[in-house]
Amino acid sequence: MATNDPDAHINLSKARIMLVDGSQHSLEVTAQILKGFGVLTVHRFDNILETQKFLKQRTADLLVIDPSIEGGAGYDCVSELRHSGGPAATMPVLLVCGHVHKADVMRARDSGANFVVAKPLAPAVLLQRLLWVARDKRPFVDCGDYIGPDRRFKFEGPPAGSEGRRAEDLKSPLGNAVEPNLSQDEVDAMIKPQRVMI
Amino acid sequence: MNKARFFFPDVRLKRLLREPGGITVGEALVRADDAIDGMRDAFLQSIDQKIAEIGALGQDDAFSATGRCYTLSNEIYAEAGMIKLIELSDVAHNLCDLLSAGGKQGASAKAIRVHVDAMRALRSPAASASGELRRAVLSELHRLTAHLATHAHDDVA
């Protein structure tokens, strides 16, 4: 199922989605876009207090939140949700950001959100990210300070100077290669190249 | 250092998406676009109100409402972009850049007024009908912004 296949079927009729945004217009239009996608249950919140009250008692299938609400309280809201330990703690979260700086993106990543979507919100992008979230294959990580999807999606190994915490992290420096490098043809003969679809 | 725990939570959304029935992706996108079109007038009204509010806040030379102006221009950026008023969205984004770079001293009141004037010009019926005119407004805005940045010291004095 991909957003570039217009004939693919999606069924969001039973999905319960939470929207949190300080702007009533943004809330309204995002809710209308989701209804266009076939979502029947959309819970809207224009403040963090009501959002937190809801999350203490109930859960949803997706949280879409503008982190800039109430001066950036949305980031803390996501982080607190991840640390809450309740049934909602692992729910997928999309951060929808307007004007952002690089530091905001880092903060978004470190809050425990699954993905960041930049405003202005286009329906095709929102649907694509919704499908990404649903099919996100990253494990969740709980390392005390951070709880959320694994942030190390580039597989660059453990941070410099650290031994790493994964079983598969190499504990000692790699030695020199003992065989000549494989040519591209030899690599292709071992692994069939696959077309990547998003 | 804490030992990290890795686990795979159940994602109900994934299961729901695969249930029989539903609609096609193409249909979903058409319905969503229709929903945005249906809200176009409300968006335009909201954008005009926000431009007016920034204009009123920017009257004061000792500009102290930077936070509120930033919020409003951020909302204009998102709302205008959603209904494909690209140039207006760009101006609002530039204003966000300006306000966030201004720090505690706030941004230059003149620079804010120039942006407000550009947004008002882009909302005029003439600019709405002419892409050439909209590009001319943007070009003039960039010229004035560069001029104000060069003469920032004169502005403070």
| Radius of gyration in angstroms for the set of CA atoms belonging to chain B, rounded to a whole number | 21
Residue of B5, B13, B71 for testing the chain A interface, max A β-carbons within 10 Å: B13
Share of chain A above pLDDT 90, in %: 51
For residue B23, the SS3 value is: strand
Kindly report the pTM of this predicted structure. 0.81
| A154 has a pLDDT exceeding 90 | no
- By mean pLDDT, which of A2-6, B101-105, B110-114 is the weakest? B101-105
Average pLDDT of chain A is 86
Whole-number pLDDT of residue A1: 56
Residue A111 in contact with residue A67, Cβ under 8 Å?
yes
- CA–CA distance from B13 to each of A14, A16, A27, B107 (Å)? 9, 9, 21, 44
- Distance, in Å, from the CA atom of B129 to the CA atom of B109, rounded to the nearest integer, reads 30
Residue of B8, B15, B29 for testing the chain A interface, max A β-carbons within 10 Å: B29
- Distance, in Å, from the CA atom of B55 to the CA atom of B123, rounded to the nearest integer, reads 14
- By mean pLDDT, which of A26-30, A119-123, B103-107 is the weakest? B103-107
Q: Which of A41-55, A127-141, B10-24 has the highest mean pLDDT?
A: A41-55
| A194 has a pLDDT exceeding 60 | no
Residues in chain B: 157
Whole-number pLDDT of residue B127: 84
SS (H, E, C) chain A: CCCCCCCCEECCCCCEEEEECCCHHHHHHHHHHHHHCCCCEEEEECCHHHHHHHHHHCCCCEEEECCCHHHHHHHHHHHHHHHCCCCCCCCCEEEEECCCCHHHHHHHHHHCCCEEEECCCCHHHHHHHHHHHHCCCCCEEECCCCEEECCCCCCCCCCCCCCCCCCCCCCCCCCCCCCCCCCHHHHHHHCCCCCCCC
> Does B40 contact chain A (CB < 8 Å)?
no
Average pLDDT over residues B1-22: 88
Long-range CB contacts for residues A152-157, cutoff 8 Å, separation at least 24: none
> Does B153 contact chain A (CB < 8 Å)?
no
| A192 has a pLDDT exceeding 60 | no
Whole-number pLDDT of residue A155: 64
Whole-number pLDDT of residue A3: 60
Confidence of residue A198 (pLDDT cuts 50, 70, 90): very low
ipTM over 0.90: no
Whole-number pLDDT of residue A28: 92
- CA–CA distance from A97 to each of B11, B135, B147 (Å)? 23, 26, 31
- CA–CA distance from A36 to each of A62, B8, B27, B31 (Å)? 16, 30, 8, 5
- For A62, the closest of B13, B33, B74 (CB atoms) is B13
| A35 has a pLDDT exceeding 70 | yes
Distance of CA A72 to the CA centre of its chain: 18
Q: Are A123 and B29 within 8 A, CB to CB?
A: yes
For residue B73, the SS3 value is: helix
Q: Which of A33-37, A183-187, B104-108 has the highest mean pLDDT?
A: A33-37
Confidence of residue B105 (pLDDT cuts 50, 70, 90): low
- Distance, in Å, from the CA atom of B27 to the CA atom of B21, rounded to the nearest integer, reads 13
Whole-number pLDDT of residue B157: 35
Confidence of residue A8 (pLDDT cuts 50, 70, 90): confident
| B146 has a pLDDT exceeding 90 | no
B chain contacts of residue A98, beta-carbon cutoff 8 Å: 74-75, 77-78, 96
Q: Are A120 and B35 within 8 A, CB to CB?
A: no
| B109 has a pLDDT exceeding 90 | no
Residue scoring higher pLDDT (B21 or A18) = A18
ω into residue A120 within 30 of 0, thus cis?
yes
Superfamily of domain A16-149: Response regulator (3.40.50.2300)
- Distance, in Å, from the CA atom of A74 to the CA atom of A89, rounded to the nearest integer, reads 15
Q: Are B46 and A61 within 8 A, CB to CB?
A: no
